[in-house]
Structure 1
Amino acid sequence: MRRRAAPGDSAPHPDAPGRGGAADDGAATAGWTEHFGYRPGLDGLRALALLAIFVVHADVGMASGGFLAVSTFFTLSGFLITSLLLGERARRGRVDLRAFWVRRARRLLPASMVAIAGIVVATIAIGDAVQVGRIRADAASALAYVANWRFILVGDEYGARFESESPLLHFWSLAIEEQFYLVFPLVMVGALALLRRWRWAVVAVLGGLLVASQLQSVLLSRHASVDRMYFGTDVRASELLVGALVAWVWTTQRARVARVVVGPLRWLGPALLVVMGLLISTAEADDLIWYRGGLVLYAVITCVVVLAAIQPHGLLPRALSWTPLVWIGVTSYGAYLVHWPIFVWLRSETAMGGGARLLVGTLASLSLASLSYLLVEQPVRVAPRLPRPALVAVPVLLVVISLGAVAVVPEDPANAREVALADRGALLAEEIEEGPADGSRPTVAMFGDSSALSTALGLATWDGQPGATLAATEGWTKLGCSVLSPVTLDNGGGTIRTPSTCDGLVGKVQRAAQASQPDVAVVQFGPWEVSEIRLEDDGPFRTLGDPVLDAAVQDRLEETAAALLEVSPHVALLTSPRLDPGARDGRSPTEPRDEADPARIARFNELVREAAEIDPRVEVVDFGAYLDARPDLPSLRPDGVHLSWDGAIDASSWLGPALTEVATEGPR
């Protein structure tokens, strides 16, 4: 999966004692504040993590491990939530769950609802067709704090592959936080009740949940996509639980633990903060090591830094208490809410370089965050008690504003997995409708997978330019389809089944061609065929070069070409360029994937040529060789697999004339 490091919950903890609020609405005993209290170093740590995310999302090229900054926020939240719950129990003898959840709502809902409404309006105004088409469902899932599960279900990699990321993608991590805040206090109350009978009850419960989360992660890493693990609450809960466990030990065994660790923390904290920075600079979210214990280990490192930051003395707490850092940390929740759409649109709508984008995006995010903090968050958060009418009117008004903004946008396409196809396909249809009325140019239609879709978009746009020698007409291109569909694939990110929309591929291709009657039917596959493929449900996985798989691929290519020849006078089979799956913004992954093996795509192209031998009316167009010869191929194809929209338009200046020759020169 392509992955920009998706943003995390960068909110300062809303119930943290001290600045901006206190535990239990301001009531804290002297003992509690003496042992913990407000620690500005934690706001400084939040600020560093947030700025690291800014660097990643600005595409400066200095960091690839922004997902670890997200992990920092998760672990810090687990630590703080547990500390606060234990502090309340120590003061009152019980935990008031209703008061806890009310504080969370007062802290998070006003700013998030205003942000969602603003992002929806901005998307309608300046978003592209894909963003507008999906914003209704994205906003609804953000409002319900289930965005992470939505992005798992729809496969958000598709939006990013077509350079059209959801401006609400960042709500995935807030969703995980809120799901944790809803369930975890109940777990803690239950564990604390057991504590009266068994002194290790809390450790056993939290430790058991941590082990279960990690086992789930390891099991998923064997067959599931990285998206499933990256966005999954069950997997990411381990990072929050590490923070919770450390908070329990630190709070209940403080005197004993402090004698052992306070001295080493003075040098270990700064050293591990440097380690965190190095990991954020170099780590790759697609590396399965992170889901096989790496994230838990990183959470432990984070906890050591957190413990060092809350000490009253030392180099690290002094450095992290620098006033500008503290203010960024204090306002980081608002900055989190607005920064992602700002960077998305700076990348897509401006020609700024990475440095300028980072500067402008950071200043804009922090400025809006300060306004949010002063005008929205604090008035609701610190008000001792809202008047009863306001208690009802304010949340209702915010919900109405947010839902009203969602209601005015177009409905999401029925098949969420094909959002990019549906919306870009609509643009393709608009181009087709503007084709030549006199039929002076031959028509061309694309048939194939997501790589064919990106090529089709380029041809449709090139069709409208002066000197174009072809007219685009409607074909059939589907995301996630293999020419062998239905089959099971293992592409290094997990085992997946081709979508049901791909079943009966040959018949669907032929029916689409019958509807549009193109002069040249162009077939393009390749990216999925270089994966490991299981042809039968109980059969082995095979790769190209295996005689059984080779025969299946060639047979299906021949069937597809033969079906199209019954409708169109000419069929063109495109070869594929070398692949670089896992690339980000044109930069190859640290370790090439198996699918990048040149021998695999070379064998696929040989099968394309052999399939073309079935009929003289089938031509091979060596699109792969043309693209491979382009020194700027990484910029044309940022994810290493699909041409960007601009890249597809650029490549069409070669492909269009090549297909014109197929249409005008007759059978070979």
Structure 2
Amino acid sequence: MRDQNIIGRAAVVPRQSGPRAAVSTIYRSAAASPSGESPRPDQHHHHGRLGRIRGLDGIRALSVAAVLAYHVGTAGGPTVLPGGFLGVDVFFVVSGFLITSLLFGEAAKHGRISLRQFYIRRARRLLPASYLLLITVALLGPTLVPDQVQRLKGDIVAAVAYGTNWWLLHQNGSYFATDSEKAPLLNHLWSLAVEEQFYLIWPLFVILLWRTRWTLLGVTLALITGSTLLATYLYNPFTDPSRVYFGTDTRAAAPLVGAALAIALRPWLWGQTDSPARGRAINLTAAAGVTAVVTLIALMRDDADFLYQGGFLLVAIAAGALVVGVSHPSSRLGAALDARPLRWLGERSYGIYLWHWPIFVLLPAGGGITGWCWAVVKIGISIAVAALSYRLVEQPIRHGLPKDFSQRDQASRRAVRLRIAASVLIPLLAAGVAVVRLNDAPPPADPLVDAGPALQLGILPSAQPSKDTATPALTFKAPIRVAVFGDSQGMTLLRNTPDDLDRYLRITDETIEGCGIMLTRIRSKSGERTDLADSCPNWQEHWAESARKRRPQIALVMLGAWDVFDAITDTGTIAFGSPEWDALFMDATSRGIGELRAVGAQVALSLLPCYRPVRGSAGFWPERGKDVRTQHVNTLLTELAKRDPDRVFTINPPEEFCTDPQISTKLNYRWDGVHYYKAGAQLYFRTVVPQLSRVPRPAPIPN
């Protein structure tokens, strides 16, 4: 992604001929400009010498623009390029193409490859801007995103080690979360990790096989095939695709395609004296490549099954055609993409990519500026910060002392030394301050816990009938032992309980987040989908074990969030509400009830409330808002309770969630229209506790 034209600045050498002289020139070119600074625009390709590669900076500029446009949409702004994330794949191909050419050049000149020098060049090019970003995030994070401070510690360590992609997978992180307010600031560094891991491993293959170029090409094609097949094998269309999206093993095809093109085509032998037919072929290749890439970026969605089942390889091939077509000196598109504004942006594309996501997340809309106007402001700030980083930090560290340093006067030499020292020492000092700030930061608040003031149930009216005109107050000799089973509805309910709930209930949380009891796949009309068999295959065993451990008097079962959809199985789709669907739901629920009854607990089935899912929240499932669906599930739960009226009971949720729009749609009751905050939990327990008090206590069962 970030390799500027490191093989594109040819040193002035005596005229030679032959392939060895050609690749020798590539090495001198790289040694003369390890930073990737673009050379003079009047340099061109010649046989035996590879000059500046026109147009690659333009490709970088357009690719980072596509990524910016995509992230504008995922950070809460308007969505224009749903496939803009594919700009990263174009960067991958460019990097593979250039790095492979660099390695071949060094091998041809010296008969060996110095990994030490290779990694030094990479470090000088990449580390200054990256570490400056990490230091800045560490300094500002405790103030701007205090809820992320504990996470940032691990994220920063992973970024320093260029292992962000695997760290995110370890943390169950997703690239496709839509809630920008909760988006981690350093998620986007996954792609840099993939590239650096490629840089770490790929030179070893070249060292072993550069003398047998066609063997290396065959190995490269085999690795491309293996990576693509692995991605296809690992992809499950009903689970989050982040394992395939983040994995170095499943994303290696793109840089390897660039490497394969460099090995096969040997761009250092290209020249402007090629035949007209070859020139026409190059221009057709460029046209086909740019058409395919632009079409994919304009139309492709990040949840398209096609991408993860070979589609990323197609994207890499299209990007490879673009890179080859633009890189050739006779390319007309290469000349067009070499325009000065595009070249300027391309040279700074690494910094723009580094800085844009934290800026997008941290800058809320203000001053009445919204939509594309605010998006343009954030993009402009990202470019400005990247330009400052490029000028004040990256360039001084990358280039070191200027060539004429010894010939300058003393004052000029002192100024150069001070500038370089400041570029190194100021970030180091800031890093020390950042470490102190992160260590002193308080622990983060639970995002599922309402930060509002504590609420209380107060004195609840008795649910028992009374001959008196006044309803007596509800009293207990001892709180009821209740264990809650089900999905994340119960989990959020118990994280926001009223302060005085323990007067009535001694309650434990045995829920499983994201867990439905029908082990099928479900897909929403919004495009959301999940595989419940993958999320909680052992829910029944969990219920049984938890019931034996807790031995509750009442097991409160809260289902529904995953039980209002069609069920997709290996044999087809079972329509919601059909006799087959009803039988599947009744069987699963009956098995769960049996596990709870086995320990002597009374089972209370909480009927489904009316859901009002919020569009735009992370995970929008509009079927939950269809009251006819929740009512059908409630009918089935009621039927199950009637089968064993002495041991199984139904509990009615607050009717206000159906009848009062001021409550049912208010986000301080349910933050996404489904999951509870404090006001919603208070309302739920005020309605439910009196009903639980009427449930007969079970007779004790010996252990």
With normalisation by structure 1, the TM-score equals 0.74
Relative to structure 1, the CA distance from residue 562 to residue 355 in structure 2 (aligned partners, 3 Å threshold; closer, same or farther) is farther
Residue 227 of structure 1 corresponds to which residue in structure 2? 242
What is the rounded CA distance, in whole Å, between the counterparts of 1:361 and 1:238 in structure 2?
Answer: 32
The equivalences for 1:184-203 within 5 A come to 184-193=202-211, 195=212, 200-203=214-217
SS, match of residue 375 in structure 1 = helix
The equivalences for 1:543-562 within 5 A come to 545=580, 549-555=584-590, 558=593
CA displacement at 1:244 relative to structure 2: 0.7
Residue 298 (structure 2) pairs with residue 281 (structure 1): yes
Residue 26 of structure 1 corresponds to which residue in structure 2? 33
CA displacement at 1:503 relative to structure 2: 5.8
Relative to structure 1, the CA distance from residue 480 to residue 435 in structure 2 (aligned partners, 3 Å threshold; closer, same or farther) is closer
The equivalences for 1:120-131 within 5 A come to 120-127=138-145, 129=147, 131=148
CA displacement at 1:331 relative to structure 2: 1.0
Whether the 8 Å CA contact 2:47–2:268 is kept in 1: the answer is no
CA displacement at 1:96 relative to structure 2: 2.3
Residue 405 of structure 1 corresponds to which residue in structure 2? 434
Residue 80 of structure 1 corresponds to which residue in structure 2? 98
What is the rounded CA distance, in whole Å, between the counterparts of 1:96 and 1:30 in structure 2?
Answer: 28
Relative to structure 1, the CA distance from residue 56 to residue 504 in structure 2 (aligned partners, 3 Å threshold; closer, same or farther) is same
SS, match of residue 351 in structure 2 = helix
Relative to structure 1, the CA distance from residue 293 to residue 35 in structure 2 (aligned partners, 3 Å threshold; closer, same or farther) is farther
What is the rounded CA distance, in whole Å, between the counterparts of 1:137 and 1:500 in structure 2?
Answer: 30
Q: 1:37 aligns with which of 45, 51, 55?
A: 51
Residue 25 of structure 2 corresponds to which residue in structure 1? none
Which has the higher mean CA deviation after the structures are superposed, 434-443 or 76-85? 434-443
Relative to structure 1, the CA distance from residue 655 to residue 523 in structure 2 (aligned partners, 3 Å threshold; closer, same or farther) is same
Deviation digits for residues 88-121 of structure 1, max 9, x if unmatched? 3344443322111101111111211121121123
The equivalences for 1:43-58 within 5 A come to 43-58=57-72
What is the rounded CA distance, in whole Å, between the counterparts of 1:214 and 1:596 in structure 2?
Answer: 39
The equivalences for 1:480-499 within 5 A come to 480-482=513-515, 484=517, 496=534, 498=536
Residue 21 of structure 2 corresponds to which residue in structure 1? none
Which has the higher mean CA deviation after the structures are superposed, 182-191 or 30-39? 30-39
Letter in 1 for 2:233: L
What is the rounded CA distance, in whole Å, between the counterparts of 2:346 and 2:484 in structure 1?
Answer: 51
Relative to structure 1, the CA distance from residue 597 to residue 171 in structure 2 (aligned partners, 3 Å threshold; closer, same or farther) is farther
Q: 1:504 aligns with which of 542, 557, 560?
A: 542
Whether the 8 Å CA contact 2:612–2:674 is kept in 1: the answer is no
What is the rounded CA distance, in whole Å, between the counterparts of 1:237 and 1:477 in structure 2?
Answer: 41
What is the rounded CA distance, in whole Å, between the counterparts of 2:178 and 2:87 in structure 1?
Answer: 23
Relative to structure 1, the CA distance from residue 355 to residue 291 in structure 2 (aligned partners, 3 Å threshold; closer, same or farther) is same
What is the rounded CA distance, in whole Å, between the counterparts of 1:355 and 1:277 in structure 2?
Answer: 21
Q: 2:8 aligns with which of 7, 17, 32?
A: 17
Q: 1:377 aligns with which of 364, 384, 394?
A: 394
Residue 123 (structure 2) pairs with residue 98 (structure 1): no
Deviation digits for residues 463-505 of structure 1, max 9, x if unmatched? 79xxxxx9999863756452549x7978866773538899624
Whether the 8 Å CA contact 1:159–1:166 is kept in 2: the answer is no
Residue 435 of structure 1 corresponds to which residue in structure 2? 455
Relative to structure 1, the CA distance from residue 622 to residue 66 in structure 2 (aligned partners, 3 Å threshold; closer, same or farther) is farther
Higher fraction of helix: 1
Whether the 8 Å CA contact 1:575–1:623 is kept in 2: the answer is yes
Relative to structure 1, the CA distance from residue 571 to residue 550 in structure 2 (aligned partners, 3 Å threshold; closer, same or farther) is closer
What is the rounded CA distance, in whole Å, between the counterparts of 1:505 and 1:618 in structure 2?
Answer: 19
Residue 23 of structure 2 corresponds to which residue in structure 1? none
Letter in 1 for 2:127: L
The equivalences for 1:159-198 within 5 A come to 160=177, 163-193=181-211, 195=212
CA displacement at 1:13 relative to structure 2: 3.2
Deviation digits for residues 491-540 of structure 1, max 9, x if unmatched? 866773538899624664898897xx99x967244338959699xxxx99
Relative to structure 1, the CA distance from residue 437 to residue 496 in structure 2 (aligned partners, 3 Å threshold; closer, same or farther) is closer
Relative to structure 1, the CA distance from residue 264 to residue 586 in structure 2 (aligned partners, 3 Å threshold; closer, same or farther) is farther
CA displacement at 1:71 relative to structure 2: 0.9
Whether the 8 Å CA contact 1:334–1:369 is kept in 2: the answer is yes
Q: 1:574 aligns with which of 602, 608, 628?
A: 608
CA displacement at 1:151 relative to structure 2: 1.4
What is the rounded CA distance, in whole Å, between the counterparts of 1:141 and 1:472 in structure 2?
Answer: 43
Relative to structure 1, the CA distance from residue 523 to residue 128 in structure 2 (aligned partners, 3 Å threshold; closer, same or farther) is farther
CA displacement at 1:352 relative to structure 2: 5.2
Q: 1:364 aligns with which of 381, 394, 403?
A: 381
CA displacement at 1:241 relative to structure 2: 0.5
Residue 296 of structure 1 corresponds to which residue in structure 2? 313
CA displacement at 1:18 relative to structure 2: 4.1
CA displacement at 1:148 relative to structure 2: 0.5
What is the rounded CA distance, in whole Å, between the counterparts of 1:177 and 1:291 in structure 2?
Answer: 19
Q: 2:160 aligns with which of 143, 156, 178?
A: 143
Residue 265 of structure 2 corresponds to which residue in structure 1? 250
Relative to structure 1, the CA distance from residue 452 to residue 161 in structure 2 (aligned partners, 3 Å threshold; closer, same or farther) is farther
Whether the 8 Å CA contact 1:44–1:329 is kept in 2: the answer is yes
What is the rounded CA distance, in whole Å, between the counterparts of 2:491 and 2:143 in structure 1?
Answer: 26
Specify every segment of 5 or more residues in structure 2 that has no aligned partner in the other structure, as ranges. 11-27, 406-415, 462-473, 524-528, 696-703
CA displacement at 1:322 relative to structure 2: 2.5
CA displacement at 1:317 relative to structure 2: 2.4
Residue 638 (structure 2) pairs with residue 621 (structure 1): no
What is the rounded CA distance, in whole Å, between the counterparts of 1:265 and 1:344 in structure 2?
Answer: 41
Residue 475 (structure 2) pairs with residue 449 (structure 1): no
Deviation digits for residues 387-415 of structure 1, max 9, x if unmatched? 999999988986785587357536999xx
Which has the higher mean CA deviation after the structures are superposed, 64-73 or 312-321? 312-321
Residue 351 (structure 2) pairs with residue 334 (structure 1): yes
Whether the 8 Å CA contact 1:152–1:231 is kept in 2: the answer is yes
What is the rounded CA distance, in whole Å, between the counterparts of 1:133 and 1:275 in structure 2?
Answer: 43
Pairwise CA RMSD of aligned residues?
A: 5.5
What is the rounded CA distance, in whole Å, between the counterparts of 2:259 and 2:573 in structure 1?
Answer: 45
Whether the 8 Å CA contact 1:113–1:143 is kept in 2: the answer is yes
CA displacement at 1:596 relative to structure 2: 12
What is the rounded CA distance, in whole Å, between the counterparts of 1:504 and 1:212 in structure 2?
Answer: 38
Residue 169 (structure 2) pairs with residue 152 (structure 1): yes
Percent identical residues: 28
Whether the 8 Å CA contact 1:152–1:228 is kept in 2: the answer is yes
Letter in 2 for 1:482: C
SS, match of residue 423 in structure 1 = coil
With normalisation by structure 2, the TM-score equals 0.71
Report the count of equivalent residues.
615
What is the rounded CA distance, in whole Å, between the counterparts of 2:520 and 2:676 in structure 1?
Answer: 34
Letter in 2 for 1:249: A
Q: Whose Rg is larger?
A: 2
What is the rounded CA distance, in whole Å, between the counterparts of 2:219 and 2:344 in structure 1?
Answer: 36
Specify every segment of 5 or more residues in structure 1 that has no aligned partner in the other structure, as ranges. 1-9, 414-418, 465-469, 637-642
Relative to structure 1, the CA distance from residue 120 to residue 204 in structure 2 (aligned partners, 3 Å threshold; closer, same or farther) is same
Relative to structure 1, the CA distance from residue 504 to residue 410 in structure 2 (aligned partners, 3 Å threshold; closer, same or farther) is farther
Deviation digits for residues 520-570 of structure 1, max 9, x if unmatched? 967244338959699xxxx999977367743443225646987999699x8
Whether the 8 Å CA contact 2:489–2:674 is kept in 1: the answer is no
What is the rounded CA distance, in whole Å, between the counterparts of 1:49 and 1:471 in structure 2?
Answer: 60
Relative to structure 1, the CA distance from residue 376 to residue 611 in structure 2 (aligned partners, 3 Å threshold; closer, same or farther) is farther
